[in-house]
Amino acid sequence: MNTPCPTGIQLTALDPRFREDPYPVLAELRKREPVHHDEQLGRYFFTRHDDVAEILRDPDYWSDPRKGREGGFARGYLGRGDEEPRLLMMDDPGHRRIRNLISDPFRPRAVEGWRDRVRAVVNDTIAALGDGEFDLIEAVADSIPTIVIADKLGIDPARHAEFKAWSAAALKVAFSPINDPEDVKQAEAAFAALRETFLSVIESRRRAPAADLVSDLVRAEDGGDRLTDDEIAAQCELLLLAGNVTTSDLIGNAVAALLRHPEQLQKLRARPELLANAVEEVLRYDTPVTDTGRIANRDVEIGGVKNAQGESLTASLAAANRDPEVYPEPDRFDIERADTHHQAFGGGRHYCLGSHLARVEAQETLAALLARFPRLEWVEGGSEYAANPSLRGFAKLRIRGEGPAARV
């Protein structure tokens, strides 16, 4: 084959072909150049399952973008540089310290304690839907994760819409190699507004603790160590940003996969006990966070290719989850797949803190949607993917639902 390998922007949702369907692009790259030197964006791009696992699990690689080489992806596009660091871009000992202090409320058992509250939020949202056509993203998927996390953080419910708008503005530029100056200005304003809001909530919880996450973080103590107000605010911002669009995308991708495979939808209706496995299969089959990264902390060889210290290593989770060496018929969506292990939540010490919460939200939303609408259909020409680099999900997903009056 003489055509050049897909590279740079072609490996992001800014490119229309990748945005529409990244999987053929990633499969071609995995076949032709599984360790791809992306000169355009200054990084190495990994598409094999085992290389991705090796990168994510190496405890020594860096995540702080300021440690990346000059001109490389991490330093150039991810490091805003000057502010209080957030977990995803921190290294030890700071990472371990903060992660230990904020982990408890996100452990599966603690999150199961939120399930009823998640169900109530979901039911309120689904009960507002009438029969007929609607945009699943606008009416359902967008709002549920923001309400749940804002609720847990202890934010006034009247401010949810504001939070959603700030988090969308901040995320629009967070992982993007190309940014419009106007978008950057809006993201900066959003971060400033979030910081101010969180600092005032923290102050009020220091005076009068409540049953919420900000109060937990104010109280959190690990061997006499405590978080400062700025540290708490920075992690609250990350929780809001990391848990928001990602979970909306999971819900949208799940509904799309089921409607595009009506036999799987029918199977799920007949056997609701498959729900948890179906959500895992969606995470594998249509991965909401397409890639994550590390920085080589030393000269290394991965997948037979040498990488110098400071090099950005982009791990394509979307490609790894469809590696034919690991998954039989990787492009087949099968809610009964026996081995649905996947790397959709990353791996190693940065493994997604909110993975269990995301699962609970997706499971509850799918269950309520199927119960509300005995008939759900795809609307031709009614969907559009979002152009957020590193994320895969719908900006718009019109579907038609019909059935008896709300039973939820």
Residues that bind ligand HEM (CB under 6 A): 56, 87-88, 99, 149, 238-239, 242-243, 246-247, 250, 288-289, 292, 344-348, 350-354, 357-358
Phi, psi angle pair for 356, to nearest 5°: -70, -40
CB of 98 to ligand HEM, least distance (A): 8
CB 234 within 8 A of CB 83: yes
Nearer to ligand HEM, 337 or 350 (CB): 350
CB 299 within 8 A of CB 309: yes
| DSSP helix/strand/coil, 38 | strand
Nearer to ligand HEM, 256 or 344 (CB): 344
Nearer to ligand HEM, 289 or 368 (CB): 289
**Cα–Cα dist 143/149, whole Å:** 10
Taken in order 127, 360, 171, 98, is the CA torsion positive or negative? positive
Phi, psi angle pair for 36, to nearest 5°: -105, 130
Nearer to ligand HEM, 232 or 239 (CB): 239
**Cα–Cα dist 98/155, whole Å:** 22
Strand order in the sheet with 312-316: 35-38, 43-46, 312-316, 291-295
What is the maximum alpha-carbon separation in the chain? 67
Nearer to ligand HEM, 146 or 186 (CB): 146
CB of 282 to ligand HEM, least distance (A): 9
CB of 130 to ligand HEM, least distance (A): 28
CB of 1 to ligand HEM, least distance (A): 31
- List of E strands, 236-386: 291-295, 300-302, 305-307, 312-316, 375-385
Nearer to ligand HEM, 25 or 148 (CB): 148
**Beta-ladder partners of 377:** 400
Calculate helix-pair angle for 262-270, 275-285, nearest 10 degrees: 150
**Beta-ladder partners of 316:** 291
CB of 250 to ligand HEM, least distance (A): 4
CB of 351 to ligand HEM, least distance (A): 5
Whose CB is nearest to ligand HEM? 354
CB of 108 to ligand HEM, least distance (A): 13
Nearer to ligand HEM, 228 or 266 (CB): 228
**Beta-ladder partners of 307:** 300
